[in-house]
């Protein structure tokens, strides 16, 4: 049986100026022992990547970006490429977050190009999928997720996918305080793993980390993390305060 190291990732979204991000990163590092079972990642806004990378340096905290553009360079005003993120100290990049799909017109085809660009640059993509409340109520959860995965992962070899992290984030649970129930989350995570198995084989699917995101907080982390196909959490609001985020990281205590 494959053992998967859990991952607790903090997506700071569009929060924190550079000094605020530095203070938060410093405080978080101060709360870690270095013996955490979970791998810890934080994804500050693009402006704070370099200052935060200097603070987390050789600590166990990994740096992630919240987005990228798929070309390496060129006349794409406002965009940031995968090699640029690598040079800023990133190891991870969140791709296809529902807020990007909802507010910035991100499509499954764009997600696919972004994943390929990330992998080519040596970044680990954290690939977000999730259904809306209407889609869930209409019984379309699995078909929506399957389409997002079919198109988002199209053309990716087993080798290209092997390091990737999946993140299931039901849109109705993001920032609402209403997390998916453990049963709802486990059902979807098992489905995602089955999809990955059909697509990439049992070994790769068994090794793939699938994070849950959507109103994760200290009070519900342990019960979510206890489920067999939940390998971590992608935390939004509760990652902004270092004490709260550290409690989530130390969910087993």
Ligand X SMILES: O=C[C@H](O)COP(=O)(O)O
**Cβ contact 141:129 at 8 Å:** no
In DSSP terms, 17 is beta-bridged to none
Q: Does 170 bind ligand X (CB under 6 A)?
A: no
Q: Does 174 bind ligand X (CB under 6 A)?
A: yes
Q: Does 236 bind ligand X (CB under 6 A)?
A: yes
Q: Does 106 bind ligand X (CB under 6 A)?
A: no
Token pair of 237 as six digits:
């609001």
189 tagged catalytic: no
Q: Does 213 bind ligand X (CB under 6 A)?
A: yes
Considering the candidates 39, 97, 99, 135, report the single residue annotated as catalytic: 97
Q: Does 242 bind ligand X (CB under 6 A)?
A: no
CB proximity list for 253: less than 8 A, separation 6 or greater: none
> What's the closest the beta carbon of residue 42 comes to ligand X, in angstroms?
11
Helix, strand, coil shares of the chain, percent, nearest 5, are 45, 15, 35
Binding residues for ligand X, rule CB under 6 A, total 14
Q: How many CA atoms within 13 Å lie on the side-chain side of 163?
A: 14
DSSP-based three-state secondary structure for 2: coil
Token pair of 178 as six digits:
């209403």
Q: How far apart are CA 121 and CA 116, in angstroms?
A: 9
Cα four-point dihedral sign 30, 54, 43, 95: negative
> What's the closest the beta carbon of residue 203 comes to ligand X, in angstroms?
28
* Among 215, 221, 224, 246, interactor with ligand X by CB under 6 A: 215
Binding span for ligand X by CB under 6 A among 26-34, 53-61, 145-153, 207-215: 207-215
Nearer to ligand X, 45 or 236 (CB): 236
169 tagged catalytic: yes
Residue numbers in the known binding site for substrate are: 11-13, 175, 215, 236-237
Instruction: List contacts with ligand X (CB under 6 A).
Output: 11, 97, 169, 174-175, 213-216, 234-238
């Amino acid at each position: 049986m494959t053992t998967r190291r859990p991952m607790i990732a903090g997506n700071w979204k569009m929060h924190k100026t550079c000094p605020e991000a530095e203070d938060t990163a410093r405080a978080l590092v101060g709360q870690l022992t270095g013996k955490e079972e979970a791998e810890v990642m934080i994804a500050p806004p693009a402006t704070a990547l370099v200052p935060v990378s200097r603070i987390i340096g050789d600590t166990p905290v990994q740096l992630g970006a919240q987005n990228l553009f798929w070309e390496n360079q060129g006349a794409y005003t406002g965009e940031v490429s995968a090699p640029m993120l690598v040079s800023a100290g990133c190891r991870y990049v969140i791709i296809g977050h529902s807020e990007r799909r909802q507010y910035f017109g991100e499509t499954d085809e764009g997600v696919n190009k972004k994943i390929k660009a990330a992998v080519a640059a040596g970044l680990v993509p954290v690939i977000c999928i999730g259904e809306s409340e209407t889609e869930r109520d209409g019984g379309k959860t699995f078909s929506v997720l399957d389409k997002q995965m079919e198109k988002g992962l199209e053309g990716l070899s087993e080798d290209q996918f092997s390091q990737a992290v999946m993140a299931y984030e039901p849109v109705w649970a993001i920032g609402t305080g209403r997390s998916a129930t453990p049963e709802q989350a486990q059902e979807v995570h098992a489905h995602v793993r089955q999809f990955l198995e059909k697509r990439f084989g049992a070994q790769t699917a068994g090794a793939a980390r699938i994070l849950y995101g959507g109103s994760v907080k200290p009070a519900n982390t342990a019960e979510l993390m206890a489920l067999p196909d939940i390998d971590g959490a992608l935390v939004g609001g509760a990652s902004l305060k270092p004490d709260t985020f550290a409690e989530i990281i130390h969910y087993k205590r």
